């Protein structure tokens, strides 16, 4: 067989194996419905209920948000105010670029070079939220998410994230006690995930964003599948969509506008909320590009062999030629040329 074809096939197999291996968790993620850890509505008092939640509150009463500096743009002030006003008994911390960097430098110096080395600001905004949750505990809320009702019932768990449809979890609303093993794991996984995936969107999602978090989460579930959920300290509860937003029992009120206009941050929040769809589209695009490259390459090979055939020994006729099986699928003349070449040699 021609050496270039061999090399191409070999790299294709290596790439495919690598892709399948890395995609196996993603595929498993598609079938993970989180039902084992879902927070049942029966554990959450009705929105205006006077029922006293007697469960102990484990997560500290701290709300964390992030923005590049302390000047919150007009379009998110209402959302921010709704959370602050509803939680007068909570501490409120806004993490700015400056205070985030200072915090990492002081508490987690081993991560500083990765943190400052990120190409996109959103990667720093993603990373800092895992660190502050693992460090101080509390609840992280995206700046465009307003609060519809008090977060208190969610403080009874040791950690929670929110489910996204059709798959995975998001990092726009998360809560944790300090030193929760899942968030420690997330923190420790950031350096290994700091890779470039060519497309900035995929890079952000896979290195620090919801795709990164979902993959770690799925692995975390797999590694602890045989533990009793009732006693497992590393358990991460999952807030389901109907308790997240747009429903009577929901905690969050989304303040969204036209996501494609009005600034980077808005687009980034929007991407984070629709990450699964966008990631699927990204993979689809990558698949189409791969196939196109394969097709062009096989055309070039065919053309090349036709030229040689015309110049050298006469090619043998192949029956496949007349049924029109593309040569790169195994039909056609590639085999005949191998024989011709062997004779030439």
- Residues lying near ligand NAG in the complex (CB under 6 A): 47-48, 69-71, 248
Of residues 27 and 248, the one with the C-beta less far from ligand NAG: 248
Least CB distance to ligand NAG at residue 125 (A):
14
3-class secondary-structure state, position 118: coil
Least distance CB 47 / ligand NAG (angstroms): 4
User: What's the min distance (Å) between Cβ of 210 and ligand NAG?
Assistant: 25
Distance between CA atoms of 188 and 171, rounded to whole angstroms? 16
Both tokens assigned to 27: 């595929």
Residue with smaller CB distance to ligand NAG, 65 or 167: 65
Q: How far is the CB of 48 from ligand NAG (least distance, A)?
A: 4
CB of 249 to ligand NAG, least distance (A): 7
Pairing of strands 62-66, 138-141: parallel
- Of 59 and 154, nearer to ligand NAG (C-beta) is 154
Backbone torsion region of residue 262, taken as left when φ is above 0, otherwise alpha when ψ lies between -120 and 50, otherwise beta: left
How many whole angstroms separate alpha carbon 136 and alpha carbon 11? Answer: 46
- Joined together, the tokens standing for residue 286 give 């990558």
| 53 vs 338, beta carbon nearer ligand NAG | 53
The nearer residue to ligand NAG, 57 or 121, going by C-beta atoms, is 121
Its sign, for the CA torsion 81, 85, 86, 87, is positive
Distance CA 287, CA 281 (A): 10
Distance CA 65, CA 94 (A): 5
CB of 179 to ligand NAG, least distance (A): 33
CB 208 within 8 A of CB 193: yes
Q: Return the number of other C-beta atoms located less than 10 Å from residue 101's C-beta.
A: 16
Q: Which lies closer to ligand NAG via its Cβ, residue 58 or residue 93?
A: 93
Count the neighbouring beta carbons within 10 Å of the beta carbon of residue 55. 12
Q: Which is nearer to ligand NAG, 97 or 341 (CB)?
A: 97
At 69, give phi and psi (nearest 5°). Answer: -145, -175
CB-wise, 33 or 264, nearer to ligand NAG?
264
User: Strand 159-163 and strand 237-239: pairing?
Assistant: parallel
Burial class (CB in 10 A: 0-12, 13-18, 19+), 50: exposed
Q: How far is the CB of 70 from ligand NAG (least distance, A)?
A: 5
- Kind of pairing, strands 252-254 and 145-147? antiparallel
Which pair of tokens denotes residue 228? 């009793």
User: Omega into 196 within 30° of 0, i.e. cis?
Assistant: no
Helix (H/G/I), strand (E/B), else coil: 246: coil
Q: How far is the CB of 82 from ligand NAG (least distance, A)?
A: 12
Among residues 150 and 321, whose Cβ is nearest to ligand NAG? 150
Q: Is the CB of residue 150 less than 8 Å from the CB of residue 42?
A: no
Report in angstroms how near the CB of residue 259 gets to ligand NAG at its nearest: 19
């Amino acid at each position: 067989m021609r050496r270039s074809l061999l090399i191409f096939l070999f790299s294709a197999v290596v790439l495919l194996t690598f892709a399948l291996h890395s995609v196996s968790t993603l595929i498993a993620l598609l079938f993970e419905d989180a039902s084992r850890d879902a927070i049942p509505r029966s554990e959450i008092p009705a929105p205006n209920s006077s029922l006293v939640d007697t469960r102990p509150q484990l997560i500290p009463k701290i709300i964390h948000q992030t923005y590049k500096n302390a000047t919150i743009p007009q379009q998110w002030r209402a959302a921010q105010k709704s959370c602050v006003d509803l939680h007068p008994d909570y501490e409120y911390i806004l993490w700015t670029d400056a205070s985030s960097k200072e915090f990492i430098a002081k508490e987690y110096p081993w991560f500083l070079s990765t943190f400052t080395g990120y190409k996109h600001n959103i990667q720093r905004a993603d990373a800092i939220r895992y660190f502050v949750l693992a460090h101080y505990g509390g609840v992280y809320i995206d700046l465009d998410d307003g609060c519809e009702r008090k977060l208190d019932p969610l403080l009874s768990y040791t950690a929670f994230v929110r489910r996204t449809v059709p798959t995975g979890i998001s990092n726009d609303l998360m809560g944790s006690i300090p030193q929760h093993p899942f968030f420690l794991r997330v923190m420790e996984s950031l350096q290994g995930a700091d890779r470039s995936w060519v497309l900035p969107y995929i890079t952000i999602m896979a290195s620090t964003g919801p795709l990164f978090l979902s993959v770690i989460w799925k692995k975390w579930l797999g590694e602890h599948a045989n533990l009793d959920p009732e006693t497992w300290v590393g358990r991460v509860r999952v807030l389901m969509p109907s308790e997240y937003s747009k429903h009577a029992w929901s905690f969050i009120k989304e303040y969204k506008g036209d996501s494609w206009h009005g600034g980077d941050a808005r687009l980034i929040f929007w991407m984070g909320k629709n990450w699964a769809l966008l990631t699927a589209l990204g993979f689809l695009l990558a698949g189409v590009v791969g196939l196109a490259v394969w097709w062009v390459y096989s055309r070039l090979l065919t053309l090349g062999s036709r030229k040689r055939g015309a110049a050298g020994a006469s090619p043998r006729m192949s029956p496949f030629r007349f049924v029109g099986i593309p040569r790169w699928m195994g039909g056609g003349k590639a085999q005949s040329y191998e024989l011709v070449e062997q004779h030439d040699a």
